[in-house]
Amino acid sequence: MAVETSADIETSGVDPDWAKIRKRFPVLENKTYLNSCSYGAMSTDVREALYRYIQDREERGTDWDYWVGRNESVRAAVADFLGANADEIAITTSASASINSIASAMDFTGRRKKVVISAFEFPTDAQIWYAQELRGAEVVRVPERDGYIPVEDFESAIDDETLLVAVTHVCYYNGARLDIPAIAEIAKAKGAMMMVDGFQGLGTFEFNVRRIPVDFVVGGMLKYLLGSAGLAFLYVRDELIEKLVPTVTGWFAQSDIFAMDNTRYDPSPTARRFETGTPPVPNSYVAEASLGIIAEVGLPAIEHRIREITAEIIAQAKSAGYTLAVSEDPERHGALITLRAHDEDAIVEALAAEGIVTSCRAGNLRISPHFYNNGDDIDTLFGALRKHAHLLV
């Protein structure tokens, strides 16, 4: 099938050698791995980075400057792929930590106290914003309509009492992709700040903060950015950094980390003020390696490749008569394609028994490829689904 070739991919004149790249992900030799929305496959680069961490500990003992350097290198790499400056990036340990830091800096006592979220939010995002109701916020939740949320629904929810629009780019339970550039323009026009949770999208398509008027971007390394759990990040637009003073803080958020001043709070003038404590050192080694692969392959090639693979999944699902839980329009879905299931756990288990790794949420079978997948993976999946078709709608 078509997905195996890369001849039609235009990426600065160089077509990635997908078969060679695939070999850097050993799990693909043992499994049909289609669960990148949950956890990206581990590369040999990441494995080596983890060994290097162990080796460094054995050889160097304690070397804080070197470890802080690893964290700074991750900050620079994240800034690079978002089109931001390194000073606009905080390195955190989870999306929740990033969002909580911003939430703690928000003032809900003025006329603007609404936080507009969507039905597509990952639970942690929504829970953090609902928690702010204890501090005066008013959460406005935009519902979904048949698996999607059109821009008009945000247009009517955002008004001159909206302080922040905080929405996910790609929905974790059905793979729907919101029109973030359009929603961000509406937020801007109505004087509200805009946060996007890019966890399910970043690493699958280009996202440049200089082209889309977002104020905050939240993301993490463990899914399509191919790193590990325990390392996440936050972009904050430079004009906002010094206006926001988080009360969720710690020594790594201070102007001078090593001042060791326990008499006052002196937040950093950069986005580091949204960090808290000691960085997750092993995860920084991993992130350096995994962001290196993303940069090497390049987001235009990755995006194109994922479009080909997801189009093939949609085509095979339709020809088998399964029910898609997400739009087939590539502008309206991410790398995650979902099928309605009668018994979501049973279908995931049946596939696992055949060495196919998927996952489920909200009655949907989640199929989430990355650039390392190929046409054979999709054929294997649909061959197995045929045997268990009674578990699908």
Ligand X SMILES: Cc1ncc(COP(=O)(O)O)c(C=O)c1O
Taking the least distance from each CB to ligand X, the nearer of 16 and 198 is: 198
Distance in Å, CB of 380 to ligand X, minimum: 25
User: What CA–CA distance (Å, rounded) separates 247 from 209?
Assistant: 26
Q: Which residues bind ligand X (CB under 6 A)?
A: 94-96, 122, 124, 168, 172, 197, 199-200, 220, 232
Residue 298, classed as helix, strand or coil, is: coil
For residue 209, give the nearest of 106, 302, 89 by alpha carbon: 89
Taking the least distance from each CB to ligand X, the nearer of 359 and 374 is: 359
Taking the least distance from each CB to ligand X, the nearer of 88 and 197 is: 197
Taking the least distance from each CB to ligand X, the nearer of 67 and 199 is: 199
Taking the least distance from each CB to ligand X, the nearer of 172 and 382 is: 172
Long-range contact pairs involving 33-36 (C-beta distance under 8 Å, separation at least 24) = 33/357, 33/372, 33/373, 33/377, 34/356, 34/357, 34/358, 34/367, 34/368, 34/369, 34/373, 34/377, 34/381, 35/357, 35/358, 35/359, 35/366, 35/368, 36/223, 36/224, 36/335, 36/368, 36/369, 36/370
Taking the least distance from each CB to ligand X, the nearer of 3 and 326 is: 326
Taking the least distance from each CB to ligand X, the nearer of 97 and 384 is: 97
Long-range contact pairs involving 126-133 (C-beta distance under 8 Å, separation at least 24) = 128/96, 128/99, 128/100, 128/103, 129/99, 129/103, 129/166, 131/103, 132/103, 132/106, 132/108
Distance in Å, CB of 202 to ligand X, minimum: 10
Taking the least distance from each CB to ligand X, the nearer of 186 and 232 is: 232
Distance in Å, CB of 37 to ligand X, minimum: 7
Distance in Å, CB of 203 to ligand X, minimum: 12
Residue 293, classed as helix, strand or coil, is: helix
Distance in Å, CB of 97 to ligand X, minimum: 7
Distance in Å, CB of 63 to ligand X, minimum: 28
Distance in Å, CB of 172 to ligand X, minimum: 4
Distance in Å, CB of 4 to ligand X, minimum: 29
DSSP 121-179: --HHHHHHHHHGGGGT-EEEEEPPBTTB--HHHHHHH--TTEEEEEEESB-TTT-BB--
